[in-house]
Amino acid sequence: MSSIPSVAPNTALASRFRSARCRTLALVEPLTPEDMMVQSCPEASPAKWHLAHTTWFFESFVLREFLPGYKIFHPDFAWLFNSYYQSFAAFPEKRLRSSFSRPSLDEILRYRAHVDDAIERLLEADAEPEALKRIELGANHEEQHQELLLTDILHALFTNPLRPAYKSGLDPSAQSQIELEPAQWIELEGGLTDVGHAGSAFSFDNELPRHRVWLEPYALADRLVTNGEFADFIADGGYKRPELWLSAGWDTVLREGWRAPLYWSNTDGAWTLFTLRGEQSLDAMRAAPVSQVSYYEADAYARWAGRRLATEFEWEAAAEALPIEGNLLDSENLMPVPAVQLAAFPAERLIRDEGRGQYQCWGDCWEWTASAYLGYPGFHPLSGSLGEYNGKFMSGQMVLRGGSCVTPAAHIRASYRNFFGPETRWQFSGIRLAKDTTEMQ
Ligand SMILES: [Fe+2]
């Protein structure tokens, strides 16, 4: 009796694979070869490296093991484009990735084509279930790097004195007249709640096993905190009041000289915000969600507002029934937009009209949660080198939920756990407030 693979049939998988590979190439179209070499902060990688590393993943974890007769493209690429898989091969220091002027961009594009052809051959052959699972994992890995590619290039363009736009064509000044109502509260009962991934569709190992948690009654804000509201926090001395900050957060404020979110600049008292669509005035962006804030800033804002951040399970319980629709990469806004701009997101409008859920659950900004990134009870990392994918980062990081304006829609789900250190702020990371609705005994 043959076992049934827990992956989609080959045709659906082939389509997922092709669309992921094509989209990565589409995302670098606005970039010059010089843009693709920049590595402007330690967290980031050059776009050219992303092109190569995502290809390396398929070659290393799929083709070498599962395609008989596969011809390695270049023997040095196995270690050159390894990111952090210690048990697979050595790898260069991350900070040196911008010095990879060789191999050339042309050679990396040929590497991509070579690997793509080989994966297509494997998909046409009678590939074993584990190979199909690895291809699906590779497509999901590629989507993660699509988001990283855009967040990294945003930082690269921000550090360029010319502040060039990645893409023009959206006029945020159209948002400048939007007046949002104060956030409303969505009340949730809590109780014994199942969390974690359910079903046979793809998930990462860190979303498993599904298990039960207890939630006290709570409430979530029905939208994200806006730039305008965050400007009020700044104007009220938010970055100058140690009582609002966690100790490590305050140390970071002092050490880094933080006065505002990462891409805010102040000239003669007027704030501007840098986006993938170029520099924008705060006035034009006032109703859009604040983004590129660290966990420390999200926590300090919540304390200033007399509220708190949700735990990851409070967030998941509120999100699980909501259709995945919102300002994700597929909308091509490439920046967070105000909660009232819902014409393109009818499901989200429906949620609001029926009072069933919260705006901006999916997309716009990843939402910092108050939960440390840990393995679930019974967590088992993948076997072999792929066990290093998620599990080894389970210390010193906080969980973020919900995806951002540069997350592919096919990539996100209610159980998805993103994670970064609490000082990290080059991602599209924002704030949703939460509160308790009963006094704890
Ligand atoms: Fe990776």
Instruction: Tell me the mean pLDDT in the region 404-429.
Output: 97
> If you search the block for the tokens 């993943």, which residue do you land on?
57
Compute, in angstroms, the gap from residue 60 CA to the centroid of ligand 1. 12
The pLDDT of residue 343 is above 60:
no
pLDDT the model gives residue 169: 72
The answer to whether residues 178 and 435 touch, using CB atoms and an 8 Å cutoff, is no
pLDDT the model gives residue 87: 82
Residues with beta carbon < 5 A to ion ligand 1?
83
pLDDT the model gives residue 72: 97
The answer to whether residues 390 and 210 touch, using CB atoms and an 8 Å cutoff, is no
Compute, in angstroms, the gap from residue 309 CA to the centroid of ligand 1. 29
The pLDDT of residue 9 is above 60:
no
The pLDDT of residue 78 is above 60:
yes
pLDDT the model gives residue 25: 98
Give the CB-side neighbour count of residue 29, counting CA atoms within 13 A: 7
The pairing of strands 191-195 and 211-215 is antiparallel
Q: What percent of the chain has pLDDT over 70?
A: 92
The pLDDT of residue 172 is above 80:
no
Dmax over CA atoms of the chain, in Å, equals: 74
pLDDT the model gives residue 348: 63
Selection from 261, 265, 312 nearest residue 290 by Cα: 261
Instruction: Tell me the mean pLDDT in the region 91-113.
Output: 95
Compute, in angstroms, the gap from residue 198 CA to the centroid of ligand 1. 25
Q: What is the rounded radius of gyration, in angstroms, for the C-alpha atoms of the chain?
A: 22
Compute, in angstroms, the gap from residue 141 CA to the centroid of ligand 1. 6
The answer to whether residues 405 and 411 touch, using CB atoms and an 8 Å cutoff, is no
The pLDDT of residue 8 is above 60:
no
The pLDDT of residue 439 is above 60:
no
Kindly report which listed range (22-31, 194-203, 354-363) carries the lowest average pLDDT score: 354-363
CA distances from 118 to 64, 127, 143 (A): 10, 12, 20
- Exposed, middle or buried, 379 (CB in 10 Å: 0-12/13-18/19+)? middle
Instruction: Tell me the mean pLDDT in the region 361-373.
Output: 97
pLDDT the model gives residue 154: 98
Alpha-carbon gap, residue 425 to 43, rounded angstroms: 10
> For 12-36, how does the pLDDT look when each residue is reduced to its tens digit (9 = 90+)?
999 999 999 999 999 999 999 999 9
Instruction: Tell me the mean pLDDT in the region 413-424.
Output: 98
> For 32-64, how does the pLDDT look when each residue is reduced to its tens digit (9 = 90+)?
999 999 999 989 999 999 999 999 999 999 999
The DSSP output letter for 226 is B
The average confidence (pLDDT) of the chain is: 92
Compute, in angstroms, the gap from residue 54 CA to the centroid of ligand 1. 6
Token pair recorded at residue 258: 């933080």
Instruction: Tell me the mean pLDDT in the region 327-341.
Output: 89
Kindly report which listed range (83-97, 216-230, 273-287) carries the lowest average pLDDT score: 83-97
Compute, in angstroms, the gap from residue 138 CA to the centroid of ligand 1. 9
- Exposed, middle or buried, 97 (CB in 10 Å: 0-12/13-18/19+)? buried
Compute, in angstroms, the gap from residue 315 CA to the centroid of ligand 1. 26
The pLDDT of residue 147 is above 80:
yes
> If you search the block for the tokens 């407030």, which residue do you land on?
433
Q: What is the enclosing helix (H) or strand (E) of 419?
A: strand 418-420
The pLDDT of residue 356 is above 80:
no
> For 200-215, how does the pLDDT look when each residue is reduced to its tens digit (9 = 90+)?
999 999 999 999 999 9
Identify the three-state secondary structure at position 191.
Answer: strand
Compute, in angstroms, the gap from residue 98 CA to the centroid of ligand 1. 16
Alpha-carbon gap, residue 200 to 198, rounded angstroms: 7
- Cα 429 to chain centroid, rounded: 8
Q: Which residues have CB under 8 Å from 233's CB, separation 6+?
A: 300, 301, 304, 305
Specify whether the backbone of 401 is left (phi greater than 0), alpha (psi in -120 to 50) or beta: beta
Q: What is the enclosing helix (H) or strand (E) of 273?
A: strand 270-275
Compute, in angstroms, the gap from residue 83 CA to the centroid of ligand 1. 6
CA dihedral sign of residues 144, 150, 151, 153: positive
pLDDT bracket for residue 174 (50, 70, 90): low
pLDDT the model gives residue 1: 35
Alpha-carbon gap, residue 39 to 160, rounded angstroms: 11
| Residue 430 β-bridge partners | 367
pLDDT the model gives residue 395: 95
Backbone phi and psi for residue 435, each to the nearest 5 degrees, phi listed first: -155, 160
The answer to whether residues 406 and 275 touch, using CB atoms and an 8 Å cutoff, is no
Q: Which residues have CB under 8 Å from 396's CB, separation 6+?
A: 421, 422
